[in-house]
Amino acid sequence: MRTIIKNGKAIFPDSIEENLSIVCENGKIVDILNPDGVVPTEGDTIIDARGKYISPGFIDIHTHGGGGHDFMDGTVEAYLGAAETHAQHGTTALLPTTLTSTTEELMKTFATYKEAVKQNKKGAKFLGLHLEGPYFAYNQRGAQDPKYLRNPEPEEYNQILEASDDIVRWSLAPELPGALEFGKVLTTRNILPAIAHTDAIYEEVVPAFEAGFTLATHLYSGMSTITRRNAYRYAGVVEASYLIDGMDVEIIADGVHLPKSLLQFVYKFKGPDKTALCTDSMRGAGMPDGESILGSLDKGQKVIIEDGVAKLPDRTAFAGSVATTDRLVRTMVNIAEVPLVEAVRMMTLTPARIMKIDRQKGSIQKGKDADFVIFDDNINVSHTILEGNVIYGN
């Protein structure tokens, strides 16, 4: 059976083109043709975009949950509920992300993840696990629970790595004792080590980058900037992210974590090909304001959702976002004034390239997965399509 998407404005990496029909079969894009070149046959599914935009599916490489669910809840229902919530906002693929926790909690989520992958039929596709912590700098912990913070020890992280073959990314502070050696272990396993919640200075980031730490996790959030040691000034991770040309960054473009000026600064100096948008969303994504919990229901921290973001109860720090991917694109276009094509690229092809899945996902191209999101001029999603099947919309 084929799926044919017609009558829309297709967003490619560098252009928007109209009067095209996109033909999908067996979960792949098989043709991109002039409408006259497509002859529908019995059994075809025809999706009329009605003049809206047809974008590659959004890829979120950092999310903790949504729709009242957190991946640390340790239940299949939480995984499926979060995936379905994000699918309603245009996400076709995501990395379920953990928080600082006990090793026992991590082990539990590994088994849950495998079962959730089998049962996930209506939600965004799971691309593998992203472990955030527990190897963080105390002063940059943000909303991460400090009682679980520790340094990377081979006995512990090798036990974790042996317990799961689904880990594809691990965020940690590279200046901690043993972190560089750990990063090298991760790269040999094709796991992306990312810099996060860190007090590192530039001189510590350079060897980390060389050891495989090629991504800065939620730039500006939980990381060092210019600091003084013994009266001397040192550049931090923020400055290193700009100075190292090959460093990729991700940003929480909810319009709250970073104001317009910083969104524009990142766009100007890193550009759309080195900048991925991420939600870093917690269970409050897609939910009303009020009290919530960051992390698992039984061991998480109480937080407050207000002003379009989650905060610690004393309001001293943000506690993850409540953004969805459509909001990220909308923010970049309407607030940061980034061209739609480039905002979409930061939500599709760039994260796909960072996670080394750009041969399969991230752009509308023959042979790639038939993942799409259809939205209007204000990025309101009407359809989310995963591998040729509509998982949201009708």
Write out pLDDT tens, residues 239-286: 999 999 999 999 999 999 999 999 999 999 999 999 999 999 999 999
Q: What is the dihedral of CA 302, 304, 310, 314, to 10 degrees?
A: -80
Residue 35 confidence (pLDDT): 83
Residues 22 and 164 placed together within one structural domain of the fold: no
Residues 182 and 303 placed together within one structural domain of the fold: yes
Does 167 fall in a domain? yes
Does 284 fall in a domain? yes
Mean pLDDT, range 32-61, rounded to an integer: 93
Does 372 fall in a domain? no
Does 370 fall in a domain? no
Closest CA to 308 of 319, 298, 324, 321: 321
Residue 385 confidence (pLDDT): 98
Residues 21 and 126 placed together within one structural domain of the fold: no
Model pTM score: 0.97
Does 369 fall in a domain? no
Residues 158 and 38 placed together within one structural domain of the fold: no
CATH number at residue 388: 2.30.40.10
Distances (CA, A) of 56 to 12, 20, 91, 145: 8, 14, 10, 36
Q: What amino acid occupies position 52? A: K
pLDDT at 102 over 90: no
Residues 127 and 275 placed together within one structural domain of the fold: yes
Closest CA to 205 of 183, 174, 184, 182: 174
Residues 181 and 209 placed together within one structural domain of the fold: yes
Residue 296 confidence (pLDDT): 85
- The answer to whether 326 and 381 are in contact (CB under 8 A) is yes
Residues 141 and 265 placed together within one structural domain of the fold: yes
Residues 43 and 132 placed together within one structural domain of the fold: no
Residue 210 confidence (pLDDT): 98
- The answer to whether 309 and 51 are in contact (CB under 8 A) is no
Residues 24 and 132 placed together within one structural domain of the fold: no
- The answer to whether 73 and 296 are in contact (CB under 8 A) is yes
Rounded CA separation 185/334 (Å) = 42
ω into 272 cis (within 30 of 0): no
Q: Tell me the per-residue pLDDT of 133-149, one tens digit each, with 9 for 90 and over.
A: 999 998 888 777 788 89
Q: Tell me the per-residue pLDDT of 318-346, one tens digit each, with 9 for 90 and over.
A: 888 999 999 999 999 999 999 999 999 99
Residue 34 confidence (pLDDT): 87
CATH number at residue 328: 3.20.20.140
Longest CA–CA separation in the chain, Å: 76
Residue 299 confidence (pLDDT): 80
Does 207 fall in a domain? yes
What are the DSSP calls for 289-301, one per residue? SEEEEES-TTT-E
Residue range(s) defining the domain that contains residue 344: 57-361
Residue 300 confidence (pLDDT): 84
Residue 144 confidence (pLDDT): 78
Mean pLDDT, range 5-32, rounded to an integer: 96
Closest CA to 360 of 386, 329, 390: 386
Residues 91 and 37 placed together within one structural domain of the fold: no
Tell whether the torsion through CA atoms of 38, 42, 44 and 48 is positive or negative: positive
Label residue 354 by pLDDT band (50, 70, 90): very high
Rounded CA separation 297/286 (Å) = 18
Residues 26 and 121 placed together within one structural domain of the fold: no
Q: Which backbone phi and psi does 270 adopt, to 5 degrees?
A: -105, -35
Residues 277 and 330 placed together within one structural domain of the fold: yes
Structural domain count of the chain: 2
Pairing of strands 372-375, 53-56: antiparallel
Residue 316 confidence (pLDDT): 86
Q: What would the two tokens of residue 146 be?
A: 């400090």
Does 317 fall in a domain? yes
